[in-house]
Amino acid sequence: MIRYLILTLFCLSSTLPISAQDVDMGDTLRVNALSGLHLRQQATTQSLSKKLLPYGHPVVVVSESKGKPVLLDGLTGNWVRASAGRDTGYVFNAYLTRLPVFMNKPVKDQNLGASLEEYAFEKLGVLDSVYYTNGADGEPFHRMTIFNLRGGHQYIRHGFWENEEWELQLLNVRDSEGIQLILNLLKLWGRSTPDIENTLKKMHSTGSTLINDAEVCYRIHVFKAGNRIIIRISSCGS
């Protein structure tokens, strides 16, 4: 049986390319670039690197950038002055996040939805939950459990007649934080390609990419609704 990983993205308030928005002075954030983030002497990629900050490393924003946003690696953001331990320099804020980061590779054979659920429960934390079902039989059937998470985020587990969905709603996060979150999960899961990365970063109002995978089939939707970024993973047929 041939199955696929299908990645579909859309944004209700489509903005190309992804904007990182500003961060505030005094904010403590973490590096969300898996390969690390350069702390540079000046606010440019041409400047010498003082050190490479590893993935997950905390940094404190010393001063906000007053320059115009710049495009770097498909993300629009600003250079901010930041400190990491005893070192101070400039970092590109599209690769900083307030969210917890994935630190471990998904368990072998764990499905992608389960990995997202594990992140929601273990990294964000559950406050309470509510269960809903429409009581229908056959194709109209729908059940869901809504988990309220710390920080106003939500995780929703959907069950339909022929498939399941796992949905993470992130409240008041920057576009780049949501995109980097799912992109890092795909990389750690071993299912990322340059085409997928480019599609994620461009965040087209419609768009998809397809890769073959031996045992799984998922559709991933990433979109923005009001002040929430929603990551939705759906299982699909063969």
For residue 62, the domain's CATH number is: 2.30.30.170
- Tens digit of pLDDT for each residue in 138-166? 888 999 999 999 999 999 999 998 888 99
Q: Determine the structural domain holding residue 78 and report its residue range.
A: 20-97
Which one has a higher pLDDT value, 199 or 165?
165
Which one has a higher pLDDT value, 34 or 206?
34
> What is the domain count for the chain?
2
Name the DSSP class of 151: G
Distance CA 218, CA 191 (A): 11
Look at residues 97, 132, 162 and tell me which one is the last residue of a structural domain. 97
Considering the domain architecture, whether residues 221 and 109 belong to the same structural domain is answered as yes
Structure pTM?
Answer: 0.84
Q: Based on the number of CB atoms within 10 Å of its own CB, is 222 exposed (0-12), middle (13-18) or buried (19 or more)?
A: buried
State which H helix or E strand residue 142 sits in: strand 142-149
pLDDT at 238: 40
Considering the domain architecture, whether residues 105 and 222 belong to the same structural domain is answered as yes
Assign 116 a pLDDT band (cuts: 50, 70, 90): very high
pLDDT at 76: 77
Report the pLDDT averaged over residues 108-130: 90
Considering the domain architecture, whether residues 128 and 148 belong to the same structural domain is answered as yes
pLDDT at 48: 96
By the 8 A CB rule, do 40 and 91 touch?
yes
- Tens digit of pLDDT for each residue in 65-106? 767 888 888 887 899 999 999 999 999 999 999 999 987 766
Which one has a higher pLDDT value, 22 or 176?
176
- Sign for the pseudo-dihedral over CA of 56, 83, 98, 202: negative
Look at residues 57, 74, 97 and tell me which one is the last residue of a structural domain. 97
